[in-house]
Structure 1
Amino acid sequence: MRIGILGGTFDPIHLGHINPALDVKQQLNLDQIWLMPNHISPLKNTTVVSSHHRLEMVKLICQQYPEFELCDIEINRNTPSYSATTLSLLRQQHPKDEFFFIMGMDSFIQLPLWYQWQSLFTLCHIALCQRPGWAMDTQSEMTKQLLLRQAAASYLDSPSHATHGKIFCINSQLVDISSTEIRQRLAENIDISAVLLQTTTDYIRQHKLYR
């Protein structure tokens, strides 16, 4: 199978996560998208709500969208969620599957700060979704990687294509909002129905989160 992986704190999960993931699945003709909430993010100090609540909100999304599956490999780990470690383990567990790691341009630019970041290109492809307002330094390491590794979706039609190491740029109608802004609006009781699914909003209200 061809599997897209979208990781994150999902604090909370919103359309800025969901819509690009659906675009990746459609444009690269993937079989599934795995939503992978993490327990301890190496690049974020903390989350606002517990791993339990973040996991439950992701489960609700997976129930609503048949395209999505929950991947709980990171949220059940009591050590920092290094993507290289996770993908290495997933490749061992699913040797016949092809993985596409989904990330936004903001994360892609910061990739050299990630643990063993270069090993990602030996473990998976990258599906790159550009977020509004982000541009790349033409002299940066990641610009060089993009020029070296960029491929069109048609590349995957070749029976002999590599199962890792390529970067696919995704055309996506991205929602220009962050989880931080959503939490602020929730705390101020501002309507956020344009960016949160009703099931997520109901869960947040039921459990009195982000107040």
Structure 2
Amino acid sequence: MKIGILGGTFDPIHFGHIRPALEVKQQLALDEVWLMPNHIPPHKQGTHVSTQDRLAMAQLICDELAGFKVCDIEAKRQTPSYTAKTLSQLNQLFPEYEFYFIMGMDSFLSLNKWYQWQQLFSLCHIAVCKRPGWQLTDQEPIQALLKHHLHNSDKPSTAGTGEIFLLDVAQQDISSTAIRQQLQQGNIPTTTMPKSIQEYIEQHQLYQASSSAQSK
């Protein structure tokens, strides 16, 4: 089976996560996409709601979309969620699967700063989604890496790991930060999140300013 892995804080999960994942699933003919919320993000100060809430919101999305599942391997970990460690563990648990790690161009540009990043090419393929405002130039250090590992679309992929798939997806300028700011102001951003996520956030009074939360 070909499995796409989309990790992140999902704080909260929104269409900027979901729609690219759907497009990658279709373009690469993936059997499943696993949404993987992390517990302790290595590059951020922390999250704004609990791991349980973020897992629950990811599960709501998976309940709605065929071929989507929640992977809680990082959510259960009490140490920072390093991708190389996670992919190594997933390969041990599911040696018969072929993994495709999904990331945006902004993350890909800093890949050579990730923990044990070289190991990724022996553990998975990498699917890179283009994002608004990001493009790869010849001056980027990561360009040489891309040229070495870039999948040749004229030939079928035969390697089980180590290829980079550079994918065009519908660009959306949506951020969890902007969504949280709207929610703190008492506004529900209906165009950026599925209704099930909006309802979960309202029901559990998440991302509210303290004064707003206390008034309910």
* TM-score for the superposition, normalised by structure 2: 0.93
1:62-211 aligned at under 5 Å gives the runs: 62-152=62-152, 155=155, 157=156, 161-211=158-208
Query: Which amino acid in structure 2 is aligned with residue 69 of structure 1?
Result: K
How far 1:153 moved relative to its partner?
5.1
The unaligned stretches of length 5 or more in structure 1 are none
Q: Return the alpha-carbon distance in structure 2 between the equivalents of residues 163 and 154 of structure 1.
A: 17
- Kept in 2, the 8 Å contact 1:28–1:153? The answer is no
**Is residue 2:58 matched to residue 1:61?**
no
Q: Return the alpha-carbon distance in structure 2 between the equivalents of residues 152 and 185 of structure 1.
A: 42
Equivalent residue, structure 2, for 1:12: 12
Equivalent residue, structure 1, for 2:25: 25
Residues 14 and 168 of structure 1: CA distance in aligned 2, closer, same or farther (over 3 Å): same
Q: Return the alpha-carbon distance in structure 2 between the equivalents of residues 97 and 181 of structure 1.
A: 36
- Kept in 2, the 8 Å contact 1:9–1:47? The answer is yes
Q: Return the alpha-carbon distance in structure 2 between the equivalents of residues 180 and 45 of structure 1.
A: 13
Q: Return the alpha-carbon distance in structure 2 between the equivalents of residues 58 and 17 of structure 1.
A: 10
How far 1:200 moved relative to its partner?
0.1
Identity percentage over the alignment? 53
**Which is bigger in relative contact order (C-alpha 8 A, separation at least 6)?**
1
- Kept in 2, the 8 Å contact 1:34–1:70? The answer is yes
Residues 154 and 9 of structure 1: CA distance in aligned 2, closer, same or farther (over 3 Å): farther
How far 1:112 moved relative to its partner?
1.5
Q: Return the alpha-carbon distance in structure 2 between the equivalents of residues 153 and 100 of structure 1.
A: 16
How far 1:174 moved relative to its partner?
2.6
Query: Which amino acid in structure 2 is aligned with residue 198 of structure 1?
Result: K
The unaligned stretches of length 5 or more in structure 2 are 209-216
Query: Which amino acid in structure 1 is aligned with residue 175 of structure 2?
Result: S
* TM-score for the superposition, normalised by structure 1: 0.95
Q: Return the alpha-carbon distance in structure 1 between the equivalents of residues 123 and 154 of structure 2.
A: 20
How far 1:129 moved relative to its partner?
0.2
Q: Return the alpha-carbon distance in structure 2 between the equivalents of residues 65 and 135 of structure 1.
A: 30
Q: Aligned pair count?
A: 208
- Kept in 2, the 8 Å contact 1:175–1:195? The answer is no
**Is residue 2:49 matched to residue 1:49?**
yes
- Kept in 2, the 8 Å contact 1:27–1:153? The answer is no
Equivalent residue, structure 1, for 2:34: 34
Superposed CA RMSD: 1.2
